[in-house]
A = this chain, B = another copy of it.
Amino acid sequence: MPINASGAPARAESVRPDGAGHAFSRAVSDGAAHPLCNERQNQQLFNYEKRVKDAFDNIVPVLRQISALQHEGNFEERAQELARKQLGFELPCQILADAWVNQLDMRGLYAWCMFETYRRFSDDFFTRQDIDTDEDFQSFLLRCGFHTMDVSPCADGRLAHVISYVLRLPYREVRRKSYAGAMFDIEDSLEKWIETEFFRYREGRPDTADKPTRYLKAVVYHFSSGDPEHEGCAAHGSDTRRASEAGRKSLYAFQQAVENSFCCGASIDLLLIGLDTDTDSIRIHVADENGKIDIDTFVDTGKVYAATSGMNADQAMVTVEKTVRAASSGATPGMIDLVCRLVTNNISQLEYVRRNYRGAYPDIGHAERFIGVGIGFEEIQIRNLTYFTYMNTVEEGAADLDVGIKIFTGLNVAHGLPVPVVIRFDYHGHVPGARERAATSCRRVAEALEARYEELVKKGLFHTLQAIRDCAAGERIEVLGSSVYAQSSVGAH
């Protein structure tokens, strides 16, 4: 079971011999919740996280049982019964039927189960909406003086929950686009900025262009308080300072690109956020009156949590605001309000981690379940589930992909399990031909991946699922195919 948390606590403990780095988890007793914590939301989010992760982590134990049965009579029936009962779906008959010839193709079965679990989880997300959204957020954001919040976190799976959990923001109303090291694509962001402002001018949404609201771009870099030199951001050599400086540099570059490309005072506002992936506490760096961001000046929510946990809610709010003001000289009142909201939202998440994970995740390192490649994945709002590589082509995404394969070589391949890769392209169904182009992209990327990781493919250690989604219609994903059948029949004969 290389991918569930069972082996992780030892790892997590070993890097924190003195318990350093997780101040807030020691600051409060186990009993009382923080006065600003949204306990109902915490419960709901935990139920959701647990249900999803359990579904993925159930695969290996069930397959172990099935493996043990493979040479017994009635194997196919018994395996299907087990799968139905414990996983909720049936296994592909062909793989089971071929088991008597050689061995059961466990790699194919594993990939098949991962993909089926992913499909069910994704369908669930788009049909049930288990994550509570902050309905008031868009209007609150406008009151703060921002018409758009565009967040680029690092693509690391330990940040995949940053919108819905860490910041407690509605995923539909905040743009998220992840990049390795949070070093986002300036040209892509410029296009998004143009599109956003265009809608304000042409259709008055979310507000009309004459309103003095701004586009807010945020970057989320990350670090590990427990094991800063190993479990930080791989793209920046696990160096917190480098990670934060790179995030700031990207923000400045985007701002300058807007200012240089358009006249009449066009600009954007910036926010730099650092995430401690062990504890989910954040550092918020607010720009000063000259628009400069100081790497060493920030609001540390772990400290705010500790300082306010004994207070009542009103006292705590006053302290939050005081702390935010102290770290945000020159910020607009709207920015201060927004940062206060982010701090209080995050306090719920700190309570969440304290209550459910004793203040720090057992899996402080990588423990993603699959790699997600392409454009889309709005449904991935859960920590350490997916290593993202947003890309159009393997040619451009190769470096990020190689990092993902390296991670999964440790997580899966070293244990004889394949790397499950979900290739996904979202499209706008109202654009003629868009569905076909998304399907073509899936096939092209699948071929390029199979060529790049040929050695793994040959050994059955690399499997892909191809899926597309009409994101304009808000529909479920459409699965186009998977390498599992092809591969398993090759292996069996």
Contacts and interface: CB of A to CB of B under 8 A. Distances in A.
A256 interface: yes
A430 B266 CA distance: 14
A256 B432 contact: yes
B263 A428 contact: no
Given A395-B448, A444-B396, A264 B202 contact: yes
Contact of A433 (B186, B202, B448): B186
Contact of A203 (B257, B262, B396): B262
A430 B194 contact: no
A256 B190 CA distance: 25
Contacts of A394: 395
Q: Which of A202, A256, A257, A264 has the most CB of B within 10 A?
A: A202
A44 interface: no
A409 interface: no
Interface string A192-216: 0011011001110000010000000
A261 B201 contact: no
A428 B261 contact: yes
Contacts of A198: 194, 197-198, 201
A425 to B, nearest CB: 12
A59 to B, nearest CB: 32
A191 B195 CA distance: 8
A393 interface: yes
A238 interface: no
Given A392-B393, A448-B395, A260 B203 contact: no
A32 interface: no
A187 interface: yes
A75 interface: no
B194 A434 contact: no
A264 B209 CA distance: 17
A106 B203 CA distance: 61
A260 to B, nearest CB: 4
Given A395-B393, A444-B396, A431 B197 contact: no
A186 B431 contact: yes
Interface residues of A, number: 36
Contact of A202 (B252, B262, B392, B393): B262
Interface string A393-420: 1111000000000000000000000000
Contacts of A434: 186-187
A253 interface: yes
A104 to B, nearest CB: 36
Contact of A396 (B393, B430, B433): B393
A431 to B, nearest CB: 4
A217 to B, nearest CB: 14
A103 to B, nearest CB: 36
Contacts of A194: 194-195, 198
B209 A201 contact: yes
B202 A430 contact: no
Interface string A217-256: 0000000000000000000000000000000000011001
Contacts of A209: 201-202
Given A198-B197, A201-B201, A263-B203, A253 B432 contact: yes
A202 B197 contact: yes
A150 to B, nearest CB: 16
A215 B194 CA distance: 18
Contacts of A432: 186, 252-253, 256-257
Contacts of A444: 395-396
Contacts of A201: 198, 201-202, 209
A187 B438 CA distance: 11
A202 B209 CA distance: 9
A177 to B, nearest CB: 16
A197 B396 CA distance: 30
B191 A261 contact: no
Given A187-B434, A256-B432, 11 more contacts: A186-B431, A194-B195, A197-B198, A198-B201, A252-B432, A253-B432, A257-B430, A261-B431, A392-B393, A394-B395, A395-B395
11 contacts: A186-B431, A186-B432, A187-B434, A187-B437, A198-B198, A201-B201, A202-B266, A261-B428, A261-B430, A392-B396, A394-B395
Interface of A: 186-187, 190-191, 194-195, 197-198, 201-203, 209, 252-253, 256-257, 260-264, 266, 392-396, 428, 430-434, 437, 444, 448
